[in-house]
Amino acid sequence: MTKYSVKQLSSLAGVSVRTLHHYDHIGLLKPSFRSKKGYRFYERKELLLLQQILIYRQLEFPLSDIHAIIYNPSFDLTVTLETHKKKLEEKLGNLKLLIATVDKTIHDLKLKESTMTDEDIYKGLNVQEVRSQRKEVIEKWGRNELIKAEDRIKKIGKGGWKDLQKKGEEINQLLADLSYLPPAHTDVQQTIELHFRHLNFFYEVSKERYLGLGKMYTEDERFKSYYEKYAPGLAHFIMEAIQVFCDNDLH
């Protein structure tokens, strides 16, 4: 029969030598025998008892109660193990539920950190200008379109919104750099397609709506001045490029 020294059992069971000495001292786990030099040795029976002790410790039983249980004359190892199994399964179920709760909390916290408020969407803009723009969107395309656009922006979070704004600025600058070319030029049309796809993130842009936006860029002083800051005459250039793009069925 295999026998284990204190050090060997300590390594096998993952408990300290000091703990095994303590268990021996209080009579909780006596060695199977001692050598002539007084060294402790443990056999299979002690290994099984130590397993029970460690399980009860996991279940937070005090050592005195564990002693009373495992040295009770009616103690049945098989029945005890089955009982342990049920309790461990219950504990496992509770732990899984706890983990799921923690995961949900982490998810909600991350979502809260990344989700934008209505104020975040319009941060940096004049309050009156914001109200005017929202009112104009509602009048032209309806409240549902405004809600959809704002919801999409909120979902991508502050970081995503900044990236989207940066992308829009890059497209505008690229159009400005190409404004010396005819609106029908391939490079211009490829860039106006980027402009079209960029707008489609916020709401569905049909051919008619895109043509309307192009016209608005030249007629509405707010939009005109916005594009003019990139290059003189850019608003009119974009309008013409949009017309060519739409004439080609938005391809």
Instruction: Let me know how many helices (H) and strands (E) the chain has, helices first.
Output: 12, 3
pTM above 0.75, yes or no: no
Report the Cα–Cα distance between both ends of the chain, in Å, rounded: 83
Tens of pLDDT along the chain (251 residues) come to 789 999 999 999 999 999 999 999 999 999 999 999 999 999 999 999 999 899 888 877 889 888 988 888 888 878 877 887 888 788 787 788 778 766 766 766 666 555 555 555 455 444 444 454 555 556 665 666 666 666 766 666 667 767 778 888 899 899 999 998 999 999 999 999 999 988 887 777 788 888 988 898 898 888 888 888 888 899 999 999 999 999 987 65
**In DSSP terms, which residues pair with 34 in a beta bridge?**
40
Q: Which CATH architecture has domain 157-247?
A: Orthogonal Bundle (1.10)
Residue 32, both tokens: 């199977």
Sequence ranges of the domains in the chain: 4-71, 77-124, 157-247
CA dist 28 and 188 (Å) reads: 85
Q: Under CATH, to which class is 4-71 assigned?
A: mainly alpha
Q: How many CA within 13 A on the CB side of residue 184?
A: 3
